[in-house]
Amino acid sequence: MADSNLQILLAGYFGFDNAGDEAIFEAIVENLRRLSPGVRLKALVHDPETAHRLEVEPVPRKKVPQVWSAMRSSNLFMLGGGGLFQDVTGPGSVFYYGGLLGMARLAGCPSVFFCQGYGPVRRPLQKLFTRQILRLPSLLTVRDEESRSEMKQLGVSAKSIFLAADPALLLSPLPPDELRAILGEEDLFKELGRSELPNGQLSQAGPLVAVTVRPWPGLDLQELAKALVEFRGETSARYLLLPFQPERDLKPSVELSKLLEGEARVLDRPLTPRALSGILACCDMVIGMRLHSLILATVGNPPLYGLSYDPKVERFCRRAGALSCLIEEISSDRLLREWQHLLQGRKAQRKCQEKAVEKMRKEAEAAFLASLAVGRGATSQEVVNHFLNGS
Q: What is the mean pLDDT of residues 330-351?
A: 96
Mean pLDDT of 298-309: 96
Q: Alpha carbon of 127 to those of 46, 123, 181, 311, 378: distances in Å?
A: 26, 6, 48, 18, 30
Q: 262: pLDDT confidence band, cut at 50, 70 and 90? A: confident
Contacts of 35 (CB under 8 A, 6+ apart): 1, 368, 369, 372
pLDDT band at 5 (very low <50, low <70, confident <90, very high): confident
Nearest to 61 by CA among 51, 74, 73: 51
Rounded CA separation 369/170 (Å): 13
Instruction: Determine how many CB atoms are found less than 10 A away from the CB of residue 96.
Output: 13
Listed in sequence order, the residues at least 6 apart from 169 whose beta carbon sits closer than 8 Å to its beta carbon are: 27, 295, 298, 357, 360, 361, 364
How confident is the model over 26-31, as a mean pLDDT? Answer: 98
For the chain, the distance separating the N- and C-terminal CA atoms, rounded to the nearest angstrom, is: 24
Q: What are phi and psi of 80, to 5 degrees?
A: 140, -175
Over the stretch 167-176, which tens digit does the pLDDT of each residue have? 999 999 888 8
Average pLDDT over residues 11-19: 95
**Quick one: average pLDDT of 207-231?**
95
Q: Cα(146)–Cα(118) distance, rounded to whole angstroms?
A: 8
Distances (CA, A) of 135 to 139, 153, 377: 9, 14, 18
Q: What is the pLDDT of residue 384?
A: 79
379 contact partners, CB below 8 Å, separation of at least 6: none
Averaged pLDDT for residues 353-377: 96
pLDDT of 99 > 60? The answer is: yes
3-state helix/strand/coil string of 170-191: HCCCCCHHHHHHHHHHCCCCCC
Closest to 12 (Cα-Cα) out of 84, 115, 71: 84
pLDDT for position 184? 83
CB of 21 closer than 8 Å to CB of 82 = yes
Q: Which residue spans within 61-213 are E strands per DSSP? A: 76-85, 111-118, 139-142, 161-163, 208-212
- pLDDT band, residue 389 (cuts 50/70/90): low
**Helix or strand run (H / E) with residue 275:** helix 273-281
Per-residue pLDDT, 202: 64
Question: Residues 110, 77: contact at Cβ < 8 Å?
Answer: yes
330-343 in b/e burial notation, b at 16+ Cβ within 10 A?
bebeebbeebeebb
Q: Is 195 helix (H, G, I), strand (E, B) or coil?
A: coil
* pLDDT tens digits for range 274-289: 999 999 988 999 999 9
The answer for residues whose C-beta is within 8 angstroms of residue 178's C-beta and 6 or more apart is 275
Quick one: DSSP state of residue 168? G
pLDDT of res. 187:
75
What's the confidence (pLDDT) of residue 89? 77
Tens digit of each residue's pLDDT (9 = 90 or more) over 122-144: 999 999 999 999 999 999 999 99
pLDDT at residue 306 tops 70: yes
Number of Cβ within 10 Å of residue 132's Cβ equals: 12
What confidence category does residue 62 fall into, taking pLDDT thresholds of 50, 70 and 90? very high
Burial (CB count within 10 angstroms: exposed 0-12, middle 13-18, buried 19+), residue 247? exposed
pLDDT tens, 182-207? 888 877 766 665 566 555 666 667 88
d(CA 100, CA 158): 23
Supply the pLDDT for residue 191: 66
| Pairing state between β 265-266 and 285-288 | unpaired
Question: What are the residues whose beta carbons fall under 8 Å from the beta carbon of 329, sequence distance 6 or more?
Answer: none
Give the mean model confidence (pLDDT) for residues 50-64.
Answer: 97
Residue 67's pLDDT is 98
Q: Which structural domains are found in the chain, ordered by start? A: 7-170+359-387 (3.40.50.2000), 176-302+304-344 (3.40.50.2000)
Asked if 29 and 95 touch (Cβ cutoff 8 Å), the reply is: no
Confidence of residue 115 (pLDDT cuts 50, 70, 90): very high
pLDDT at 3 over 90: no
Distance in angstroms (rounded) separating the CA atoms of residues 302 and 368: 26
